Every structure is written in structure tokens, then in C-alpha cells.
Structure 1
Amino acid sequence: MTDRTILVIGTYDTKNDELAYVAERIASQGGGVLSMDVSVLGDPEDPCDISKHDVARAAGSTIEEAIAAGDENHAMQIMARGAVALATELQRAGRMHGVLILGGSMGTDLALDVCQALPLGVPKYVVSTVAFSPIIPADRLSPDIQMILWAGGLYGLNAICKSSLSQAAGAVLGAARAVEAPAAERPVVGMTSLGSSCLRYMKFLKPALEDRGFEVAIFHATGMGGMAFERIARAGGFACVMDFALPELGNLMAGSVVNAGQDRLTNAGRAGIPQIVAPGCLDLIDFAGWQDVPEAYADRPFHAHNRLIKSSALSPDERRETAREIARRLSPATAPVHVLMPLGGVEEWDKPGEPAHDPEGLAAFTNEMRRAMQPPLAFSEVDAHINHAAFADAALAVFDAWVADGTVSTNVKADA
């Protein structure tokens, strides 16, 4: 008898030994294994629970068609579609409780699709030769994905790669046993912010929203946080969002790697979730600590936050363009949107005497926000700094009105 079953996915024609080793490690701890082969050309040494033919069939294709395409990328996308369909079906049926996927760049490409398709709370472990690589964009990741670098794992078993594989086997089984999946007890407000040294409105808003019977999930808007926020919004996981930290949007527009993907500021609107939005920290552009600051930003105010991230200032013209982009992304929303503009500044260093204080830039941005935020978008100016209690009060006034008129539901979705 096993208490949890792990779906193990990989190309069994080229990685049979590694996948078999992982299965043995899971079994040695009392876990069950379902094996899925996503190979195309070859066959495993022993039959898998889910064959490559099953996978191709689930994608509406055949292995023969995948081979005939004559293109490895096209063939693996067929297998990815089939793996997604079968993994989600197995999870819904209660036949698996976590997934472990092994791969190089091809296998990782497939793994990212599978992990995005599975709901939050299902343990997702990817052992990859390209884990943490900059070739993996933020919008390909799922909110609770776990990635382990497969050191020495390109071809065949060895003592080094066994260390990674055995840890992954224990981690996914332990997670499947220990996980406390999101429970639908209170409606959730999704909020974006940064550390409290920069943005502090959550200190006012979180207890106030909790007093109103809501749970508050706050996402750190430094790339991965915004990605997770967008993925959960896309799945309809929030009753309302307070998207008050938008540096990832400015970073995306400026070409910084510190972004949350191309769909930032779009998913809540597509999912019909009411949005209260403010341009927190949209006066700065963030760069990775290892990046050279482009020459175009060399003569601007600069702040090294730590060894991982550093910031420079956006020009007035760049800030005008971000205002227009906010409007472009919010306008198609299928639920109400209310944009708040804090006239006193948009982050802690945007105050008189602080290094990012730029009255000209803030005025240019504010004027463009006034022009860009047209119906159906609602727009209000708040005569306060974003970190002042008056800003939080303005946000709560919009929220309370939406609760009163039913725009924000106080009911809990059964699938939240």
C-alpha cells in the first residue's frame, strides 16, 4: 500500500536509467509511481504505465505523425499537449498527487507546460539541466513550481547526478504528503507590493481587509512574484485585486530581465476579476545585479538595493509611455477597473529630499494618466503619497463600494 502516487515523466528511450532510479527512490520511501513516456523515436527498456502512443493519442495525433514532421521541436510539442491532457486527467481523478519531470532543454520545455496546467497545491518538481537559466521566461513558470539543477545529468547515471535525483524523489513525495492545498474558506484579495522599505500600504490594508472577512495574498513584484500573481489571476483565484506595484511593467517595456512576462496587468481583466490599480514604484527601472546598466541610464539617479537588484530612474517621456501602456492593458477588462493616482509620490524614495524625487517626472506621468485613463476605466486622484494612510483609505472606499453593490463577491468559489 502507498499513501501518495507520483507521476514521473520523461523520455524513457534516452533516460531510462535515470527515470528508473527516481522511481526506485520514491518506492523505497513507500510512495507509488505512475510512469509516463514522452519519447518519440525510441522505446523504453520496460513498458511504462502510460506509453508514448497514449501520450500522442491524447494530443489528437500519433507517434508516426510526430516522426513524419521531421522536426524535433514540433514532435515534442505534440507530446507536451498529450502530457498536459493526461496529467490533468490523472490529477482530477485522484490517481496522482505530485509530478516529477526530468529533462534537458526539450524535456524542460514540456515540463513547464505540464506544471502550468496543474492546479496550485499539486507538488511540481522539475529536475532540469537548465534550471534557473535565463532562457526560461517568467511567463512559462507556474506559481508553485520547484526546479532542481540536474548537475552532471546530461547522459547517464553517476554519483553527482544521483545526488540531485534522490533529493528530488524525496522532495516530491514529502511535498505530496505534507502539502496543505489552498482551502476555499474566505474570498482572497490578491495584492502586489515590494518590501516595506519601499511600499507600505499593505500594512494598512491587510488588517482592514481581514476585518472585512477577506484573506489577503501579497505578491513581491520583482518578476517572479508578478508571474505568480498573474497565473493565479488567470485561473480566477481572486475575488478582487489591488495591483499597486507595477515596476515589472516598466521593466518589461525597458527590456530588463526583472519582469513578470508579457501578460502583466492583463489576466485579472480577462478573468472578470475587479481591479483597483495604482502605479506604485513605476518611476524606476530595475536591473539584475549582474547586468551592466545600459549607457542610456548612466546619467540618471541610481540605487543599488542589494547585490541582486539595482534601479535607475525613468525619464518623463518613458513615464508617459508607461501611463499609456497601463491604459492599453486595462481597457479590455471584463470587470470594473478603478485606477488610483497618488499625487504625493509613488514609492518611498519619491519624496522631497530622497534620491528618486522627480517632480517633473511625476507631473508628466500624472498628466498622461489623466489623459489615458478613459471610460470604461474609472480614475481618481489621491492627494497623498502612496505610503500614506490616506491612499489606503481611498482604496478601501472603492473596495467597500464594490462589496456593497456586489461587484466584489463575498462568496467563496468551490474551485478557488
Structure 2
Amino acid sequence: MKDIPTIAVVGTFDSKGEEHLFLKERIEARGLHALTVNVGTGRPSPFRPDIDFYTDLILKKGLMDRGRDGMIQAVISAAGEKILQLYGEGKISGIISAGGGTGTHIGTGIMRVLPMGIPKIMISTVASRDMSSVVGTRDITMMHSVTDIMGVNSLLGEILDRAAAAVCAMAESNWKSPHKKKRIALTMFGFITKAAEQIRKNLEDLGYEVIPFHANGTGGMAMEELAREGYFHGILDLATHELADQLRQGYCKGIGPLRLQPINNRKVPRLVVPGGLDCAVLEFTRGDIPPEFKGRKIFFYDFRSAVRLDLNETKTMAQQLAGKLNQD
């Protein structure tokens, strides 16, 4: 008999208990199990959850004197460990949460400890904002609540029900890749797409599976994390453009310190190409060129423009790239 998937329903039940109880009921109405996990720090849950970090962590360990921020960090850490343990034991098949700014911070902080592939849905009042810092490099699905989360009304109820339907369907998905080939990670971005397409074809003709990553700041870091987790047999780092945008605070900034660093304890061959390293992609159009870039070569792309780096910037890029690669 096929095991029935269990979805972890994680949230701040002190302020959003009604909504998470509704999620639990809608998941169970679809024939799946729900495991309720309270990560609220303000007061007890209005119902008895399956796992209660307010009672078992905040109260038992006397963390109230840490302040709100300290309690939140403690809950994220402890709940993340527990959720990862449950996943490792095969006891959960997905995770869902709903919240405002704080709830989103807590919920996604817990979701990010889980590996790629397990369904992760965050219903959030702030989902329409820049979510790069909370999604990070993980496959978290953000769903905008549109309304605030204060009681299950006719509008929010529809959104929560659809989110429950989505996580249930994700948990029951059973597609497996037919590929048993060695995997090569390939970074790419707009200006060098044709080169990436040709490289993909050539590698596939040689019998490899190519996994492309958009070098947009987050994409490069996602590739690095998966490489450290052992997903790849080789890396073709075609688009090192992220270094240029990090220097000029461009559209593809946001890389972490591990970008292009040696992968400890793993012998993964990496071929590095200075693809797109001669320009930074910035958000301006031909009608509003910043004074500092007038006179430079500029390619007007869409709402973004690619600005050619000057000599000093190019030297800086070369030094940074060489410094990282010479550590390997």
C-alpha cells in the first residue's frame, strides 16, 4: 500500500493559528496527513499543535529575556533542525506556511534547510516585494496572500485552499528523471546564450546531462551549493558575469563569498570562462544614462543596459577571479 504523504504546517500560531488550522483541514480534506508545528514566540497556540516550540523551547528554556529577535532566531534554528530530521526519517513530504513579514522570515528560514525537491510553499503578505533574501537558492514557491492574514475570510480562504491543493499535488508528484548520465553544471546568461546552447549540444552529444544555471546572482550561488552537495561530476562556468555586477552593484549582484571558491572534499573539475565579465548590467535606459557612464560603450537591452567596464574595473575583475581560482 502506498504511504500517505504528510505535510508540515508550520507557522506562528499565536497570531495566525486560525489560518494554519484551516490549512491543516484543507490538506486533510484532500486525503493527506498534516503535521502542525508552532513557531510562534508571543503566547501559547490557541489549539494543541503536534510540535510546539513555544512550549518546548521558549518557555522550557526560558528564552523570553532574549528579546523578540533572539527568540525568533532560536526558533528558526531549532525548528529547522527538527524539520530536516523529520524529512530525513521520511516523515514529511512537504512544508507549507503563511505569514506576514515575521512569519515569512521564520517560515522561509526553516524551509531553506531542506534540500531541493521537497515541496515548499510560503503564503505571504509581502510576496510581491523582492523575495531574493528569503527564497535564497532554494526551490521555495512564494504565493501572495493579497489580503492581510487575520482570519479566514472569503478571499483569503480561497488563496489558502489553493495553496493547500498545490502542496498536496506537489507531494504526490512522482516523476523521476530518466537520465542516468553524468551531470555537468553550466552557468549562462543573456549575452552568451548562443554559446551556452552550442556547449549544451556538444556535451549532450558526448553523453552528458547539462544542468544550466542563470548567472543572475542567485543562480551562480545555487550552482555552487548543489556542487557542494555532490550533484555534479563537472562544472563549466561559462558566465562569470556576476563578479562584474557585484563590483558595480548591478542587476546580477548578490553572490556570496563561496562563488568560485574551491569545493572542499570534492574533486569536481571546473572550467572557468570570463563570459560577460567585460560589462555590468544596470537598470537604466537610453533616456536616463547616469553621468558617470556617459562616454562608455553601452548596450541597451530592455529596462536594463550593459555598460562596458573601464580598465581599472577590468583589472579588479581579473585580480578577483585569479585570486579565487588560485586557491584551488
TM-score, normalised with respect to structure 1: 0.71
Partners of 1:193 and 1:130 lie apart in 2 by 30
Per the alignment, do residues 114 and 184 of structure 1 end up closer, same or farther by CA in structure 2, a change over 3 Å counting? farther
Give structure 1 regions of 4+ aligned residues with deviation exceeding 4 angstroms. 61-64, 181-184
| SS of aligned partner of 1:200 | helix
Q: CA RMSD in A?
A: 2.6
Aligned residues: 324
Per the alignment, do residues 80 and 289 of structure 1 end up closer, same or farther by CA in structure 2, a change over 3 Å counting? farther
| Long gaps (5+) in structure 2 | none
The equivalent position to 2:214 in structure 1, one of 220, 225, 237, is: 220
1:232 and 2:226 correspond: yes
1:142 and 2:143 correspond: no
1:68 and 2:69 correspond: no
CA contact (8 A) 2:284 2:305 kept: yes
- What is aligned with 2:105? 109
User: Shift of the alpha carbon at 1:321?
Assistant: 0.6
| Long gaps (5+) in structure 1 | 334-416
Partners of 2:289 and 2:106 lie apart in 1 by 34
Per the alignment, do residues 257 and 201 of structure 1 end up closer, same or farther by CA in structure 2, a change over 3 Å counting? closer
User: Shift of the alpha carbon at 1:149?
Assistant: 1.5
CA contact (8 A) 1:55 1:79 kept: no
User: Shift of the alpha carbon at 1:132?
Assistant: 4.7
1:9 and 2:4 correspond: no
- What is aligned with 1:194? 189
- What is aligned with 1:243? 237
Letter in 1 for 2:169: G
Partners of 1:23 and 1:289 lie apart in 2 by 46
Partners of 2:112 and 2:327 lie apart in 1 by 24
Letter in 1 for 2:130: P
Letter in 2 for 1:283: D
CA contact (8 A) 2:261 2:324 kept: no
Fraction of identical pairs, as percent = 26
| SS of aligned partner of 1:113 | helix
Partners of 1:314 and 1:260 lie apart in 2 by 19
The equivalent position to 1:253 in structure 2, one of 243, 247, 254, is: 247
Partners of 1:279 and 1:62 lie apart in 2 by 54
Partners of 2:23 and 2:3 lie apart in 1 by 16
TM-score, normalised with respect to structure 2: 0.88
CA deviation string 1:357-381 (max 9, x = no partner) = xxxxxxxxxxxxxxxxxxxxxxxxx
- What is aligned with 2:159? 164
The equivalent position to 1:205 in structure 2, one of 192, 199, 203, is: 199
User: Shift of the alpha carbon at 1:151?
Assistant: 1.5
Per the alignment, do residues 271 and 215 of structure 1 end up closer, same or farther by CA in structure 2, a change over 3 Å counting? farther
Partners of 1:263 and 1:164 lie apart in 2 by 38
CA contact (8 A) 1:152 1:160 kept: yes
CA deviation string 1:237-296 (max 9, x = no partner) = 211111110222211121124324223623563463321101101111112469x76442
- 1:4-403 aligned at under 5 Å gives the runs 4-53=5-54, 56=57, 64-69=61-66, 71-134=67-130, 136-137=132-133, 141-180=136-175, 185-195=180-190, 198-263=192-257, 265-266=259-260, 269-270=263-264, 272=266, 273-288=268-283, 294-307=290-303, 309-333=304-328
| SS of aligned partner of 1:191 | strand
Letter in 1 for 2:182: P
Q: Which moved more, 1:140-149 or 1:241-250?
A: 140-149
User: Shift of the alpha carbon at 1:158?
Assistant: 2.7
User: Shift of the alpha carbon at 1:67?
Assistant: 1.0
CA contact (8 A) 2:9 2:24 kept: yes
CA contact (8 A) 1:269 1:330 kept: no
CA contact (8 A) 2:124 2:143 kept: yes
Q: Which moved more, 1:231-240 or 1:200-209?
A: 200-209
User: Shift of the alpha carbon at 1:182?
Assistant: 6.4
CA contact (8 A) 1:9 1:37 kept: yes
